[in-house]
Structure 1
Amino acid sequence: METIKNYLDNMFTNLPKTNELIKLYNDLLLNMEEKYKELKNDGKSENEAIGIVISEFGNIDELINELEIDTIEKGSGLPTITLEEANEFMTTKKKSGFLIGIGVVLCILGAATLILFDGIMNNTYLGKRLSEDAQNLPGVISLFVLVVIAVALFIYSGMKLEKYKYLKEPFDLPISLKSNIEQKFKAFSPTYMISTILGVSLCILSPVAILIIDALGNESLENYGVVALLTMIAGAVFIFIYFGNIKKSYSILLKTDNFSKEKTEDKVSEAVTAIIWPLAVIIFLISGLIFNKWHINWIIFPITGILFGMFKAVHKIIKGNK
């Protein structure tokens, strides 16, 4: 009998102590105890009786929905998120991740096109007949055009998410909706894990083209190796941003104390990310375009990744000790 009570307690542990839910708990406990006694009288063993009672209990969320019981404590004063709002937010967040990812890819490809045109102009008959300014013009124009498109995507994406700023503040989430979101998040988790593995793999493999070209000893192809490197990094960054945004939409809706505590840490990490990676790209381009160090400057990205990982680990330890 105690097993049944413990089982029911676990089912209600995360639910608010409203009058309706307390009444539901007592009614269920009474019905389950009566069913248990009935099964025992029919000759069932204790384990068999408990197993049958629990198996017939069903899903608590479905029962709450069927009885139309309010799972929000009265007087909380917090806004309640509806199913439509949650779905709309997750859809918008997903689209935002896609647009931001495309924007970042365009910025990286802008640098890649600059290097690509530099290689074309230096290794073709037509390019060699042009002045240095004329040689640089196609790459520079491509860079600016792609960056302009990227900025437009960033602005549009930010404006679409502006209406959901209220989700940064405390809110209530009905238990049935929370359960639904948790199930979706659980189903998404393997996809997120695979995407992370794929993105990291692309970053690790990105210098391969440069290494191959360097091994062949053909300096005229170095620029194309760099373009391949940046293209693979662009793909990895898109994967991180797109799937990261989907994951973050679940994290925001399933807001917990841990999520709230990590907000400050996330802001610090985001601020460092906004500085360190563009700085790495600048150093990469300067060392390549000015000092022609394409054969070795690819190492900037792995080093940056390692340093950033070390920073996050140390920062987390320091925050944890406070």
Structure 2
Amino acid sequence: MNTIIDYLDNLFATLPKTKQLEDIRADMLANMEDKYNELKKLGKSENEAIGIVISEFGNIDELLNELDIQLDQKEAHFPLLLEEEIEDFLKTSKKTSMLTGLGVTLCMLGAALLILFFQLPNFSELAATTIGVTTLLVLVAIAVGLFIYGGMLKDKYKFIDEKGEFSLSFNTRKLLEDKKNAYQSTYALSVIFGVILCILSPVSLFIAMAISEEAVTYGVVALLCIIAIAINIFIYYGGIKDSYNRLLKLEEYSERQKEEDKVVGAVAAIVWPLAVCIFLISGLVYHQWHINWIIFPITGLLFGMFSAAYHILKTKETK
């Protein structure tokens, strides 16, 4: 009987995941099970019973034509993911998200320390610049190492991450959807907490301004550290949600969205390095460390607006 269930799972693996087809699958399984038990009572061997059941119920071409459902022939040739592969992918994705979040935190911590060194007493401008930039470069180098290592961990899953060349059995997809729905509350709480941290982060700056003008720099450092924590939360918990979306081919991993991501990713590859260059030049050349931190939130806001606007425009084009 397990053979029949596996066959049915593979048969429905590449079909649209709708309530209607779930009900049809359940009805087919019940009918196939009744027929199998009937054949066994008539003295048929297990292999004979399975062969007869599959020959009578296993062809659903007429059903697809009747419901006007187009089978994705491209996906039909993709291999089915095993449960062991899926679990390993989820664990690897979680670890990669942790490494990425830590790397981003180190980069922001380096920027915060660079600002802090200029405020510390008994530090000449040359010493603060030398120590601060050196610390920043060391932390960025460690962060890049973490990014590379995380990428190497997921290198064996390029067929999932980049190409999407896989398919899921009916039961596996259902299990993943249940896990994703169960995780949704955790993800929502993480987003709420991260947003709260971002909103409250300027409080440290206001407190520092109330204390003295000299304390403003410490307020900026605290603000950057709080934002770093928030970003770490977004990356880690968002990465877990992202891994479910990749496996289920939802949201940004649908075919249409992949095309949009290529454009957005190309823009991001230019915008963010440019923002870092402006940050360093404004600080090292024009000594604007007390205010140039605002470059990053402004860049993030503008880039978010661009991504949202581009998504809306492409959505209208496809309608």
TM-score by length of 1: 0.70
In the alignment, structure 1 residue 13 sits paired with structure 2 residue 21: yes
Change (3 A) 1:162 1:84: same
Letter in 2 for 1:312: S
- Give the percent of matched residue pairs that are identical in Structure 1 and Structure 2: 49
Match of 2:155 in 1: 162
Matches within 5 A, 1:178-189: 178-189=173-184
Deviations 1:223-279 (A, max 9, x none): 211111111121121112111211111011112597222112233333434443454
Match of 2:208 in 1: 213
TM-score by length of 2: 0.71
Matches within 5 A, 1:111-126: 111-120=111-120, 124=121, 126=122
CA distance in 1: counterparts of 2:294 and 2:164, whole angstroms: 42
CA distance in 2: counterparts of 1:156 and 1:189, whole angstroms: 28
Q: CA deviation at 1:150?
A: 0.7
Match of 1:314 in 2: 309
Change (3 A) 1:15 1:144: farther
Contact 1:15 1:175 in 2 (8 A): no
Matches within 5 A, 1:1-322: 13-14=21-22, 24-26=29-31, 76-120=76-120, 124=121, 126-127=122-123, 131-167=124-160, 168-216=163-211, 218-256=212-250, 259-284=254-279, 286-287=281-282, 290-292=286-288, 294=290, 297=292, 299-322=294-317
Contact 1:280 1:304 in 2 (8 A): yes
Change (3 A) 1:305 1:145: closer
CA distance in 1: counterparts of 2:289 and 2:127, whole angstroms: 23
CA distance in 1: counterparts of 2:98 and 2:262, whole angstroms: 21
Q: Which runs of 5+ in 1 are unaligned?
A: 1-9, 31-68
Match of 1:49 in 2: none
Letter in 1 for 2:141: V
Match of 1:42 in 2: none
Contact 1:112 1:231 in 2 (8 A): yes
CA distance in 2: counterparts of 1:260 and 1:171, whole angstroms: 14
User: What is the aligned residue count?
Assistant: 260
Contact 2:119 2:217 in 1 (8 A): yes
Q: CA deviation at 1:312?
A: 2.1
- Structure exhibiting the larger radius of gyration computed from Cα positions: 1
